[in-house]
Chain A
Amino acid sequence: MMTTRLPNTEPVGGEVLSGRAIVKSYENSPALRGASISAARGDVLAITGPSGSGKSTLLLCLAGILAPDAGEIRFAGRRIDTESEAARSALRRREFGVLFQFGQVVPELTAQENVALPLLLSGVRRRPAMTAARSWLDRFGVAQLADQRPPQMSGGQAQRVALARALVTEPQVLFADEPTGALDTLAGEQVLDQLTRVAREAGTTVLLVTHDAKVAAYADREIVLRDGMIEGADLGAAGSVGAAGSVDAVMSVGQHRIHR
């Protein structure tokens, strides 16, 4: 396995990623109202909650894809929400992997080219990129698909290719938003089994957004969002009081983490 991590990106005090009192609105409609969250290295954390609770927005903010209106986001101790789009984009390429419900694989490329793509975009040469892609396809049991294009694959196969692509750069954090939402039960379980197993082996932090308890059960712990706030934070309180409560709630959940 290749490692390109810099010493200054090592987690501070075990914490890899945190969001504090994040506020985000879409056209005056609040999606997040002071949500706080903290994830340590190797944490497999489910973010759940009903539709419209803000869980996908929280994920996009933490991944540096959306800029929050207020609050702060730190990755490995470094504040990232105030950085330029170019800096955040470079960070995403190097340290983050993302997996959505569907549609991330490029239909015109083969499975192997799809998986090699993030490496090629980071300047890795074609031959080592293709070799690495092949070994990641192998890890997810889809090496036989290397020369096939996504339209020829089943949903589960395409999603495993997308997973290999999300992890080929060996990111520190994997962001997954309903990664099995479009798959049947058994195909979904295979993807979740492999996702969590490989992440745990590699010590990758996983943030898994889902509304499905059966998917959340693959994680080590769960954070529940309701109306843009972390549930368990001071009930009925909004704004700064709620935000402070949220941090405590997250911390106490973390202490009760179930050991593997």
Chain B
Amino acid sequence: MSAGHALLGLLAEGERHGYDLRRQYLRRFPSAKPLAAAQIYATLDRLLRDGLVVAGATERVGGPDRTVFAVTGPGRAELDRWLSEVEMPSEYVVNLLSMKVTLALLVADQRAAADFLRRQREAHLARMREHTRVKSDPDTDLLRVIAADYAINHLDADLRWIETTLQRVTELAEEIRP
């Protein structure tokens, strides 16, 4: 995920200062990891250097100075290019769960691997319940519902993998340590 493009997108909606961008980021991307203030200013510096945003007036509202940023023509063009670009599914999925199962079978036994998978399933399901609860709350707005849906479906993919691996763990143990 490119923080630069996310900020360009938020600025394309209207000019803002850094503090406001940070708030808007939290509001629009509720499931994303929040951006630290330092990260926002470093990213804005880079966008300024590349001519994708310009710094405008400096506001002072009873606190520190706040510089307002706006998207330039090239900035808008870069944003449009990025938005229409398909994200490539990654070739190498780093699957920590799979690594742990393999190593458990190598250094311990089938029981350890199955036990890990069962406890992992509990943890995944607990997280899935949290997202489901958020989603089922009638006060949750649609933006948060679709964010929860994304998380639920990814957890579900892991859970399906955990279940089939549990069913194959005996066979896998024989393959790894014949």
Q: Are B125 and A216 in contact (CB under 8 A)?
A: yes
User: A197 to B136, Cβ gap below 8 A?
Assistant: yes
B167 A217 Cβ-Cβ under 8 A: no
- B125 pairs with A217, CB closer than 8 A: yes
Range class of the B interface residue count:
20 to 34
A213 within 8 Å of B by Cβ? yes
- Among B118, B133, B152, contact of A214 (Cβ-Cβ < 8 Å): B152
The reply to whether A196 and B136 form a contact with Cβ atoms under 8 Å apart is yes
Other-chain contact of B128, A50, A189, A192, A217 (Cβ < 8 Å): A217
Judged by DSSP, the binding face of B is helix
Would you list which residues of chain B between 94 and 147 have a CB under 8 Å from chain A? 111, 114, 118, 124-126, 128-129, 131-133, 135-136
Least distance between B115 CB and chain A CB atoms (Å): 9
A72 at the interface (CB under 8 A from B): no
List the B side residues contacting A2 at CB < 8 Å: none
List CB contacts (< 8 Å) of A184-242 with chain B.
189, 192-193, 196-197, 213-214, 216-220, 222, 224, 231-232, 235
- Tell me the B residues contacting A by CB distance below 8 Å: 111, 114, 118, 124-126, 128-129, 131-133, 135-136, 152-153, 155-156, 159-160, 163, 167
Give chain A's interface residues, CB within 8 Å of chain B.
50, 189, 192-193, 196-197, 213-214, 216-220, 222, 224, 231-232, 235, 258, 260
The 9 closest A-B pairs by CB, nearest first: A217-B128, A217-B132, A213-B159, A217-B129, A193-B136, A214-B156, A213-B156, A218-B132, A214-B152
